[in-house]
Structure 1
C-alpha cells in the first residue's frame, strides 16, 4: 500500500530490471500510467489517541502524468453506521494526497546516482474534515531508489506545517515497498508490501512525544482484478502522542494515550 503500489506491482511482477528515469529525449509522458482501486478494510486494535477497532472503505488511486507523480486515498469509516462502532461519533472521512514533481522530468536530465533512480519535490496533504481536526501539509525532497531484493522503493523527507496551529512542527521520513515473492501458474502472486512513516523533531508545545511513527507489513495475494491481504502494523508514540500519558483534550484524568503497540488489518480489493 501507499505510493502507486498497483503500478509497482505490475512492474515488479515482470522480469524487467529497475531502470533510472531518463527524459533526455524530451518525452516526459513515456512513463505515464494511472490506476484506482477500492479496498474494504477491517482494522483491529488500531493505535492513536485511543485504541480503535472498526471497518472502512478506502478509495486508493495514483499515477504518473509528465512531470507529476501522484498517490492518494480517501477513507470512509463505519460503513454500516453501527452505533457500537469506535468511529460512530467521530469523523467519517480521512484523506491523504501525495503529489510529487520529478526534477528529472523538469530538467530533462538524468539525475540518478547510486541507488537513486529519480528525484522529486515531494508533498503530502492530510485532512480529516472535522472542525479543528487533522489539517497538515508536508513539503520536502523525494526519490525512487533501487534496493537489494526489494527493487524499486519510494523514499521521501518532509517538513510538516500544521494549518490549524499556523506553524511548522517537525519532520517526517517515509518509505514504501512492494515485493512480489511467490508466483502462481495463473499469473497471480503473493507480495510483501508496506510502508514506514516516522516523525521527529516535533515541538513540545504541540506534542507529548517529539518523535514516533508506524510500520505496516502486509502479505497480499494479487490477481489482475482482485487482492486479498493481511497487515501487521507496529506503532511507537504515533502522531506525537506519548503512549500512556494523559490525553489533555479529553475530559477525565483516567484517559491515556494508546499510541504504541500492534494492530491488525484485513483487506479485500477490487482494481479498476
Structure 2
C-alpha cells in the first residue's frame, strides 16, 4: 500500500503541466510582497484514533496558525488534551497502566526557509514552484522531542492546486526511552493540501484538506519487538468554511502510529480514526 501511494504521488507530479514561476515570486526586491498570516482555535473530538496506549477518545483544544513573512513559510499547532477534564476521556489519566503516556499537550512547529528568496533566484522547474530548507519539530510535554531537517517544495498539481511536499531527516532528542534517543534515525516524507471544491454565493465553501506523513528508515529501533522502522498517517478532512467559522469531519488512516507496532505494548496503532472539528478564525 505504501509503495502504491508513493508511486501515485510521483506520477501526479510528473504528469503535472509545466508552469512558469509562481505568481508571488519577488522580482523587484520586496520579499514581503506576498506576506500573509492566519490563526484559529479548533475544538476537536477524536473517535477511535490510533494514538499509542489506547489514547483513542478525547475532546481537545487546538491553537493552529500559519503564514508567510519574507523568506519564512510557517505552519504549526498546539494541542491541549482533555480540555474539559472529563473522566470519559482516554487522556484523563490511567494510573492502572504503567505504560500509558498521559501527555497534556502536543506541539508541532514547521518553519520552512525559501531558497528562492534567499538566493533572489527563480528555482522553479516545471510543476515545482518554490524550494525550501524544510524543518519540523514534534514536542510532547513528557518525553518526546523530534527534530527534522531537509528539502521542501511547493508543487502545482492538476485540480488539487498547490501541494506542499517535504523530505527530511529525523533527529531524536527524546522518544519515550527508545534506543534511538540522541541520534539521527530515519526520514519523513510529508505532504499537505487544501482544495476548495464547492463554492456558495455567500462566499462560504467546502474543502478537501489533509496531509500524508510517511516515516521510514528508523532502523535503530527496529530490533525492539514493540517498535517498527516505518509508520504512516494519512488525514482526509472535509470542511465547510465561512469567513469566521469552519465545521469539519476528518477520516485518518494509521499504520504503526508513532513507530509503535500495532498490537504490541502500545495497543492498536493501525486502522482508521475519526475527527470532528469546530473552528473559530481570527
Counterpart of 1:182?
A: 198
The TM-score with structure 2 as length reference comes to 0.84
Counterpart of 1:6?
A: none
Query: Which digits, 9 at most, give the CA deviation of each residue in 1:185-227, with x for residues without a partner?
Result: 1110111111001100012436621111110001100001100
How many Å separate the matches in 2 of 1:84 and 1:126? Answer: 27
Equivalent residue pairs, number: 245
Counterpart of 1:85?
A: 89
DSSP 3-state at the match of 1:239: helix
Alignment of 1:68-217 (within 5 A): 68-89=72-93, 90-130=102-142, 133-164=143-174, 165-205=181-221, 208-217=227-236
How many Å separate the matches in 1 of 2:124 and 2:23? Answer: 6
How many Å separate the matches in 2 of 1:18 and 1:39? Answer: 34
How many Å separate the matches in 2 of 1:18 and 1:194? Answer: 25
How many Å separate the matches in 2 of 1:60 and 1:66? Answer: 20
How many Å separate the matches in 2 of 1:188 and 1:222? Answer: 5
Query: Which digits, 9 at most, give the CA deviation of each residue in 1:65-101, with x for residues without a partner?
Result: 1111110100001011113321012111110000000
How many Å separate the matches in 2 of 1:210 and 1:220? Answer: 33
2:21–2:122 Cα contact (<8 Å) kept: no
**Post-superposition offset of 1:21:** 4.7
Alignment of 1:4-83 (within 5 A): 19=22, 21-51=24-54, 52-83=56-87
1:239 paired with 2:258, answer yes
Alignment of 1:219-238 (within 5 A): 219-238=238-257
How many Å separate the matches in 2 of 1:205 and 1:43? Answer: 28
* Cα RMSD after superposing both structures: 1.5
Structure 1 unaligned runs (5+)?
Answer: 1-16, 248-255
1:118–1:143 Cα contact (<8 Å) kept: yes
**Post-superposition offset of 1:49:** 1.6
DSSP 3-state at the match of 1:106: helix
Counterpart of 2:178?
A: none
**Post-superposition offset of 1:258:** 1.0
